[in-house]
Amino acid sequence: MNRFFLFLTLFVFAISVSFAQEGEKDNRYGGYARLHSMGDNPYIIDPDNIKTNPAYSSTYSNFLWGDIGSNNGNPEGGNGQFAGFSYGFNDQFTLGFLLTRNDFMTSYAIGGLDPRDLVGQINDETGANVVPLNNNFELLGSYNFGNFVLGLGIAYASTTNDFTPETGDSYKNSASQLGVNLGVMGKLSSNFKFDAAFSVVLPSVTYEPEAAGADKIEGSNADILVNARGFWSLSNKVTLVPNVGFYNSTGSATVGSVSQDLPSWMGILVGVGLHYQVGDLLIAGGPSFMYESETIASLTIDSTQISPERKNSATTFPGWNLGAEWYFTDWLVGRLGYVASTFSGTYQNAISPSAVDERTTTGFGEGDVRLGVGFRFGGFNLDATVNDDALRQGFNLVGGGVASFAYLSASYAF
């Protein structure tokens, strides 16, 4: 897939250069590479928002986009690749799709696959041979009502691994995932806009041996994400952007008639940022607070407790996401970003079937300065996160074999 996508990108690039025209800037550009190079910025609007809120397909209609990804030490490259397309049939209705893989870069989007590695857990614990999920297909669309836009996305992926020998015992393995997300964008007044989305991902696994006395094994997860942002214009240059999010993940596994809860997770995010734009300069960022917890249920077998319930949690404050973007020329964009965080974590470790040790510690997310560039030729856009090592190499970069870009996104607006 990566070679085909690269060929398609170069082909579109050649066409775009040939037919590039002067005129008002088209703001349909961006993707994961842009957001990442601007400090994983949640306070800006970008086509990457389509992944969690399908209503944004209305903003980015008539748009071909995706990630060329990174090589991450792999000479074949292609980590994180996906392809997407949206087409506006009229001013109201837009229809599109995403083709994603198991290395999708956005967490808790329905294009992601098996976020808690349910297949891996079942295979490791039971010796089953369930094929991990891959190649997800998401169909999405939006409808513009004027001051409001509604969006809907549906994604599905599945695998099977059935074995029927000439003699002996057969078995059936299967995995599937259904994802649904709903999104809305709205304008409540001349100076206040908002977006909000709800997503649910439902992976499941079944291992069914035919051997006499063997138990059927089933596992399932439910992953839910709710997120919302407001855009309150304080002036024609400055916008205040509050951002809130919530996620929850629960699941269970059943062996025969015995059911056991899988580890569950919960997280709450609250952030507020400023969005400053004047001409071709954009600066956005701010602090955030996040609380995350994990609960590992106690394990009881034949009325005997084997391990106690354990709870781990982390409180992050402040978390910083800062970014800037500016035009060097009409076709070259520069970007700068910074991320950093401080957290307090509490972790429990079982020391007996009924007792735990607990440790609380302060930690720091390593501060990370990021650089990025964007190339714009007509409707074609190539966005890249710059490899830090390429800058440190200096003149040794010429012939040094160091990758210039850490991650690449491409798009074509028509």
Q: Look-up: residue for tokens 């002067």?
A: 22
Specify the CATH number of the domain 2-413. 2.40.160
Alpha helices, DSSP H only, in 52-150? 118-126
Mean pLDDT, rounded, of the chain? 89
CB neighbourhood size of 67 (10 A): 27
The helix (run of H) or strand (run of E) holding residue 37 is helix 32-37
> What one-character-per-residue DSSP string does 266-279 give?
EEEEEEEEEEEEET
Question: Distance between CA atoms of 339 and 326, rounded to whole angstroms?
Answer: 19
- Paired tokens of 181: 């997300």
pLDDT digits (tens, 9 = 90+) for 118-150: 999 889 887 888 999 999 999 999 999 999 999
Range with lowest mean pLDDT among 26-40, 119-133, 286-300: 119-133
Question: Distance between CA atoms of 315 and 362, rounded to whole angstroms?
Answer: 10
Q: Which pLDDT score, from 0 to 100, does residue 302 have?
A: 77
Band (pLDDT 50/70/90 cuts) for residue 250 is very high
Q: Which pLDDT score, from 0 to 100, does residue 299 have?
A: 85
The dihedral sign for the CA sequence 188, 194, 28, 82: negative
Alpha helices, DSSP H only, in 46-117? none
Count of alpha carbons within 13 Å of 70, Cβ hemisphere only? 17
* Domain-wise residue ranges, the chain: 2-413
Distances (CA, A) of 220 to 90, 253, 265: 40, 7, 14
User: Quick one: average pLDDT of 32-43?
Assistant: 95
Q: Single out the residue of 294, 108, 104, 81 nearest to residue 203, CA to CA.
A: 108
pLDDT digits (tens, 9 = 90+) for 64-88: 999 998 876 555 557 899 999 999 9
pLDDT digits (tens, 9 = 90+) for 262-290: 999 999 999 999 999 999 999 999 999 99
Band (pLDDT 50/70/90 cuts) for residue 391 is low
Cα 135 to its chain centre, rounded Å, is 15
336, 305 contact by CB (below 8 A) = no
Considering the chain, what percentage of its residues have pLDDT values greater than 90? 72
- The answer for 285, left when phi > 0, alpha when psi is -120 to 50, beta otherwise, is left
Q: pLDDT at residue 389 above 80? A: no
Alpha helices, DSSP H only, in 309-387? none
